[in-house]
Every structure is written in structure tokens, then in C-alpha cells.
Chains A and B, each alone.
Chain A
């Protein structure tokens, strides 16, 4: 039924309510984008551990504010009982294989294009506990806060607005774009798709958080192997 038989008013007005909440999500995306750009590409912030902590702190705070704003819709995806061992193991096997392949691909591309390899963790080598900082900033922080954002509130609202398939595609696209590296889109889009698929299939954010952590950890292990043992 579309219209009330008594007064003629349309009763299931197209998803205008959901759309009203969609625009703040765009604000989230561009706030995130500006913080990353200011840290990475502007002269306002030099690349240092303190500035990285500051920039990541801002992004994490903005993400948490949005999680609180949308908490009532997000609560079900945090339930731990939705995390099943066998699907998680399958996903992790896929991600470890993907991370190994991406590691060789990125090294190959870097050698080919720049005649050198860029290491994300070089910045930490001048500080005490480089392993601790690397795990914190390369594995843990992105795994938690990127997943809260992209497979959390962004996924939830795009799914409400459209369909699960669209939510998987849109969030993987936004996840890829926010890394601000066009070449990296080649592996970030499939990665985002895998996290989105598990988020949809098991209605849980934990697959993404654990998978993202493990994926980044494998990349990190290869970096450390090449930096310290080669």
C-alpha cells in the first residue's frame, strides 16, 4: 500500500528520513580527508611521531563522535556472538594471501617507478619501541577506526538508503579514496569489498576489525623483515 485509503496521503514516502542522515556522513568523509591532507601534504605539520599522534587523535575523535551519534543503529553489529571462527579463519587465510601478494606487487611497482621502496614504518625507527608504535599506528588504529567508520556508520546508512550490494560497493570505494593513493586503489577496492561482504553476511563489524588488523600486520612483518633482516 502506497496511499492512505481514507485521506489519500502517501504513507511509505521514499527513504527521505534516511537521506536526511546521509549528508552528515559526507561531512565525516571530508573532515577525515582534510586532516589526512594537512598531516601528509601541507607544510603545517612535519612528519613526526607527535604530529602523527595528533592527526590520528583528531580522526579517532571525529569517528567516535559519529559512532555516538549513530549508536542506536550500530549496536547490533558490535555483538561478539556474531563472530564465527570458521568464516573468520577463511577470511584471514584470504587476507594473508592477499597481503603477501600486495607486498610483492607494491615492492615491484616501487622499484619499477621510483627505483626505491617506501617503508611506512621508517618514521618510527628514530624513536624507542618502534615495533610498539608501528603496531599501534599501522595496525591497531586503522583497524579500529577505519572499520568503525566505513563498515560501521557509513555502511549502515548506505545500506538503509539503498541495498547491501550498494553499501558494499560504496564503502569500499570511499575506503579506497580516503587513502589518497590512486595506484593503491587496485588492492584497496577488493580489500574494502571483502570487509564489506563479511560485514553484510554476518552483520558484524568484528570481521573487518580483525581482518584489517591482520592484513596490516602481515604488511608490517614484511617491512620489518626487509628493514632489519635483509
Chain B
């Protein structure tokens, strides 16, 4: 905390027209920084509170990004298992080639969504979730028993993906509030 105070609260190198927090230029009349919201003309307590909030947001951002990475990994896992199941039913005892092709197409989609989640986490994981739920429900319409098969695994996957969607949204919001971070991506 002492380091932070030395950095931000006294005017450590920042001129009158530069924000003490993000060093962007300001006009003399600005009470708050236009770029990061730092209370340039606020009391020491206000400045310290602002810095604490930024620190907490960065911690939250790290946690949210971790959950997003887990959700992306989940998409790769689903892709792997879908392809594997397709190969087993296609080349194994059932020899259901149409089911194999269908599963491989869906596995490729999950894989692409997993890769896309590095660029657009919110939309990519949400699409993965929609795809997963749609085909679980479709299978349930075709064969109602499949709804209960592997229900725990399905629930775990859905929870991971929902957490990923929520965390991606949270990460985007935090990034938009932290000017030092990259611009939000959806």
C-alpha cells in the first residue's frame, strides 16, 4: 500500500495535465480522469479507494478469465468425445455411417468454437452451449432414454459452459472499466 501511495497520491512525475494513474492528458478543470475515472482532484482517501477498486477488479478479471479458459477447454473435450463416439458407432459394431458423419461435423463445430473463444469468448462459448443443449434435447425427442444417460457429465459440461458465458461477460465488463487492459471483445 505504501508503494501505491508513493506512486499515485503524491504527484510522482505526473504533470498537472496528466492523470496520475494512467498518465493520459487531462485539462486542468477535470476533476476525474476522462480515460480511467481516477479522482485527480479528490482527497487522498478517494484516490486510495480508487486504486483499491482497480486492484480488486484485476483480481476479479483474472478469476473470470480462468473460468473462460475452462469453458474453452470444455468445448475441446466435447469435440473430442463427440468425434470419438462418432468413430465408435461408425466403424464399430453399429456401422452407422450417417451418425458417424453427423458426429464428426458437430465435433468440428465444437473445435472451431473452442478456437474462436480465444478471440470472442462470450459469443463462442454461448454458441457452444446452444449447440450442446440443442443436440441433447434433440436426442431426447428421438430417444427419451438418452436424456438420463450420462446426466451427471452433461450437467457438469452445462455448468462449465454457463460459468464460461457468465465469466466472459464479467471479464468484458471489467476490461471496459480498466483502461489499461485491452478493449472488450464479445
- A and B together in one complex: yes
A residues near B (Cβ < 8 Å) are 1-10, 12-16, 19, 26, 29, 33, 37-38, 41-42, 109, 112-114, 158, 161-162, 166, 169-170, 173-174, 177, 180-183, 185-186
Beyond A14-B184, A41-B141, is A166–B30 a contact (Cβ under 8 Å)? no
Contact A19 B141 (CB under 8 A): no
Which residues of the other chain, B, contact A10 by a CB distance below 8 angstroms?
A: 37, 176-177
Q: Point out the residue from B34, B97, B169, B184 that lies within 8 Å of A1, measured CB to CB.
A: B34
Q: Does A170 lie within 8 Å of B123, measured CB to CB?
A: yes
Shortest beta-carbon distance from B1 to chain A in Å:
22
B137, CB-defined interface residue at 8 Å: yes
Residues of B within 8 A of A29 (CB): 130
B56 CB-CB contact with A under 8 Å: no
* Distance from B90 Cβ to chain A, minimum over Cβ atoms (Å): 11
Q: Which of the residues B32, B98, B106, B123 comes within 8 Å of A5, measured between beta carbons?
A: B32
Can you offer 15 A-B residue contacts whose CB atoms are under 8 A? A2-B37, A2-B176, A3-B32, A3-B35, A6-B32, A7-B31, A10-B37, A12-B176, A14-B173, A14-B176, A41-B141, A162-B123, A162-B186, A177-B131, A180-B134
Please determine whether A166 and B34 come into contact, CB atoms closer than 8 angstroms: no
Q: Which residues of A contact B27 (CB under 8 A)?
A: 5
In the A-B complex, the 6 residue pairs with the smallest Cβ-Cβ separation, listed nearest first, are A182-B102, A8-B32, A3-B37, A5-B30, A14-B176, A41-B141
Question: What sequence of 0s and 1s flags, for each residue 10-46 of chain B, a beta carbon within 8 Å of any chain A beta carbon?
Answer: 0000000000000000110111111111010000000
- Which residue, A9, A15, A114, has most C-beta atoms of chain B within 10 A? A15
Quick one: given A14-B184, A15-B186, A183-B101, are A3 and B176 in contact (CB under 8 Å)? no
User: How near does chain B come to A177, taking the closest CB pair, in angstroms?
Assistant: 5
A185 touches B186 (CB 8 A): no
Q: How many residues of B contact A (CB 8 A)?
A: 40
Residues in B with CB closer than 8 Å to A12 are 176
The reply to whether B35 and A37 contact each other, CB–CB distance below 8 Å, is: no
**A2-B179, A3-B34, A5-B31 known; A166-B130 Cβ under 8 A:** no
Of B36, B105, B120, which one neighbours A166 at CB under 8 angstroms?
Answer: B120
- One digit per residue, 1 when the CB lies within 8 angstroms of any chain A CB and 0 when it does not, for chain B 79-108 equals 000000000000000000110011101100
A9 proximity list for chain B (CB < 8 A):
37
CB distance from A183 to the nearest CB of B (A): 5
- Proximity string of chain B (122-135) to chain A, C-beta cutoff 8 Å, 1 when within and 0 when not: 01000100110011
Residue of A nearest to B101 (CB): A183
A19-B169 CB under 8 A given contacts A8-B31, A182-B103: yes
Q: Inside 8 A of B169's CB, which chain A residues have their CB?
A: 19
Known: A14-B184, A185-B105. A37 touches B31 (CB 8 A): no
Known: A1-B35, A6-B32, A14-B176. 13 other contacts (CB 8 A): A5-B27, A5-B29, A13-B176, A29-B130, A37-B141, A42-B141, A113-B97, A170-B127, A180-B138, A182-B102, A182-B103, A182-B105, A185-B105
With CB as the reference atom, state the residue of chain A lying closest to B50.
Answer: A8
User: Does B172 lie at the interface of the complex (its beta carbon under 8 Å from any beta carbon of A)?
Assistant: yes
A19–B123 alpha-carbon span in the complex (Å): 11
Tell me, yes or no, whether B109 is within 8 Å of chain A by CB. Answer: yes
CB–CB B36/A7 < 8 A: no
Is A174 a contact of B37 with CB atoms below 8 Å? no
Residues of A within 8 A of B98 (CB): 109, 113-114, 183
A41: nearest chain-B partner, CB-CB: B141
Tell me whether A177 and B173 are in contact in the complex, defined as CB-CB below 8 angstroms, given that A5-B26, A5-B27, A8-B31 are known contacts: no
